Every structure is written in structure tokens, then in C-alpha cells.
């Protein structure tokens, strides 16, 4: 008899459950793998999910050895289930948290699919809402048919992957997000912007941020890298901030007004670090810009979106026409 499917609200304990399983796997695999990553809906804060942890063991070689080690530690190898380069395993005991385990070839189509979907859902509050709504409907209609539930998510997942691969995203925090958004949205190659909050404790709202949730006011930027490069975006970012200022931009003071660059692609990190190191020569004080990725971005309330378009005389700490100074 098929087990009835159910969705749970996001649980902070899922992070601990993943860490526990990851530690177990690291201890038995030793150096056979490249990485162990938390994937699927339980890895996305605020997203409803089946309470089962999805985990990828990332490998470049040693697959046969990985399979043997896992089989010797109470996992059953289930093959690829039709997905090339993604190998499934079932844990046979009940002394670990319930989880789905896969070994995925680094750089493969499946590897990138998982990371791209996760990245998009961390960034896009709109897509998180769409995905949650769809999953709730599918659970209601297919409570005992896991295959149908999974297959009917395919269209939306494909849309998310297409969106992630046709537009690049990056998130900048540089003081009050009204002005930062207004500045960047006027640049050629910037296709879409959204203001929101990032890198704090728990889910948040503007009220919670003001009360000290620790989030930074930030702007999500979707851009066409064929029109505007990452370097040019960084040039513009430095044009509107004091990169040495801590928890302050313009007249705005508070932790929510700190500077940061977030949710860049992992392969972009060396370039960003080199860029900051090069620009450091222009300043006597050390540059104080946070660099973090794989964080959840919470879209701000509607009245904050495109604020200066709606309020022509609204507050702005940024000189909007200063983009002309960037060559």
C-alpha cells in the first residue's frame, strides 16, 4: 500500500537533520566524494515540503567505491532510475532521519539542474509562491501517487530552469533599497529588479527588519550578461556606495544598511574577490562588503517595489544620474 503524501511547513530542524546525515556520510566515504549538498524543497527556507531530506553526494570518480561503501553501510543501490549520472540509494534502517540519497556526477546535466533550481527558488519569492501553490494542489489531487505528483511538477521546473539559464542574477545591498533599485533598473542589460531582505534570522518583513532581524535591505538584479558584464555591475555598485562604511550608507544607519554582494554563482567568487582587492587600493580604510551565497532572499512588501517610480519625490540617498560617470 502506497504511503500517503503530505506537505509540512518549513522546519528549521531540517537543517540539523541534513547536517547529521552529512556527518555520517562524510565519515564513511572519507575522501571518495567531492561534496555533499542539501537539495530539494527541504533546503529552501519558507517553502512547504514533504518532510524527507534530499541529499546529493557529488563525485568526479570512485563511483564503484562509493556504491560499495554505501552498500556496506545499509544502503541499497537502486540504479539511475532513468536519469543519467544520478544514482539513487535507499537506506534500509530507521536509525537516521528519513532521506533520499543520490550520487551525482559533478558537472553533469543532473548536477546543474539541481543547483539551478535551488538557486532560483532561493532568489525568487514569486517562484517559491508558484511552486508551493502547485505542490499543495498536486498533493490534494494525488495523495498516494508519488510518480504522478513528481511528474506534474516537471513543467514548472522546466520554466524555472529556462529562467535561470537565460538571465543571470546577483543581489546587492548598499543602503536603503529604494535608491539602489532605482539606480540599477535604469541600466541597459538589467531586465528586472526586486527589493527585499537577505542574510538575517528567520523569515522576515520590513517591520521585523527594523526591529533587528539582522537582514540587509537588498536588491535582486536579473541581467543579460551579453549586454552588461559582472564587472560593469560591480563598477556601478561601487559608484553608489562607500564600500568602507560599516552598517551605514548616506544618512541611513543600522545593520540593515550594510553593504553586501549575495547569491552570485560559485565560479564568480574569485572574480569578485579580485575586483574588491583591486579597488581596495583606492581606499585608506578596509573595504567592508559581505560576500555570501546560497542565501534565501525574501521579497519586500509591494509598496517597497519600484518605490521611486510610484513616489517621484521620495527619499533617495543615491544620485540616480551618476551612472553616467561609469565608463
End-to-end CA separation in angstroms for the chain: 66
Cα–Cα distances in angstroms (integers) from residue 320 to residues 171, 193, 243, 251, 307, in the given order: 18, 15, 18, 16, 14
Q: Tell me, yes or no, if 210 is annotated catalytic.
A: no
- CA distances to 5, 140, 158 from 148, in Å: 11, 12, 16
Give the whole-angstrom CA distance, residue 21 versus residue 23.
Answer: 5
CA–CA dist 218, 327 (Å, integer): 24
Catalytic pick among 5, 176, 233, 289: 176
C-alpha cell, 8: 509540512
Q: Residue ranges of the alpha helices (H) in the chain?
A: 13-29, 63-71, 109-123, 125-141, 146-151, 154-166, 177-185, 206-211, 230-240, 269-279, 307-310
Q: Distance between CA atoms of 85 and 109, rounded to whole angstroms?
A: 8
Nearest-angstrom CA–CA distance, 31 and 255: 40
Eight-class DSSP state of 32: S
- Local structure of residue 46 (DSSP, 8 states): T
The DSSP 8-state label assigned to residue 67 in this structure reads H
Q: Which three cell numbers stand for residue 275?
A: 575586483
Q: Show which residues are catalytic.
A: 176
Amino acid at each position: 500500500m502506497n504511503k500517503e503524501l503530505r506537505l509540512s511547513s518549513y522546519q528549521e530542524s531540517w537543517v540539523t537533520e541534513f547536517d547529521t546525515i552529512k556527518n555520517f556520510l562524510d565519515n564513511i566515504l572519507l575522501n571518495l566524494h567531492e561534496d555533499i549538498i542539501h537539495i530539494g524543497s527541504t533546503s529552501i527556507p519558507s517553502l512547504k515540503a514533504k518532510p524527507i531530506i534530499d541529499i546529493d553526494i557529488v563525485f568526479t570518480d570512485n563511483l564503484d567505491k562509493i556504491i560499495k561503501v554505501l552498500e556496506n553501510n545499509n544502503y541499497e543501490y537502486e540504479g539511475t532510475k532513468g536519469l543519467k549520472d544520478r544514482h539513487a540509494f535507499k537506506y534500509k534502517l530507521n536509525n537516521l532521519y528519513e532521506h533520499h540519497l543520490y550520487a551525482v556526477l559533478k558537472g553533469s546535466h543532473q548536477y546543474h539542474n539541481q543547483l539551478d533550481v535551488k538557486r532560483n527558488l532561493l532568489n525568487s519569492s514569486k517562484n517559491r509562491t508558484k511552486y508551493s501553490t502547485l505542490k499543495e494542489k498536486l498533493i490534494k489531487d494525488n495523495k498516494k501517487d508519488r510518480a504522478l505528483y513528481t511528474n506534474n511538477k516537471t513543467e514548472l521546473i522546466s520554466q524555472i530552469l529556462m529562467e535561470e539559464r537565460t538571465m543571470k542574477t546577483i543581489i546587492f545591498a548598499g543602503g536603503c533599497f529604494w535608491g539602489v533599485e532605482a539606480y540599477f533598473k535604469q541600466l541597459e542589460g538589467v531586465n528586472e529588479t526586486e527589493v527585499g531582505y537577505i542574510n538575517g534570522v528567520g523569515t522576515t518583513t520590513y517591520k521585523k527588519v527594523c526591529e533587528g532581524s539582522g537582514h540587509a535591505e537588498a536588491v535582486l538584479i536579473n541581467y543579460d550578461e551579453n549586454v552588461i558584464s559582472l564587472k560593469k555591475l560591480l563598477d556601478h555598485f561601487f559608484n553608489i556606495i562607500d564600500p568602507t562604511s560599516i552598517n551605514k550608507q548616506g544618512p541611513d544607519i543600522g545593520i540593515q544598511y550594510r553593504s553586501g554582494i549575495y547569491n552570485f554563482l560559485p565560479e564568480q567568487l574569485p572574480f569578485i574577490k579580485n575586483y574588491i582587492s583591486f579597488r581596495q587600493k583606492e581606499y585608506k580604510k578596509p573595504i567592508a562588503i559581505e560576500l555570501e551565497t546560497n542565501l534565501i532572499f525574501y521579497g519586500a512588501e509591494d509598496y517597497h517595489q519600484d518605490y521611486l517610480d510610484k513616489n517621484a519625490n521620495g527619499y533617495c540617498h543615491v544620485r540616480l544620474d551618476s551612472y553616467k560617470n561609469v565608463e
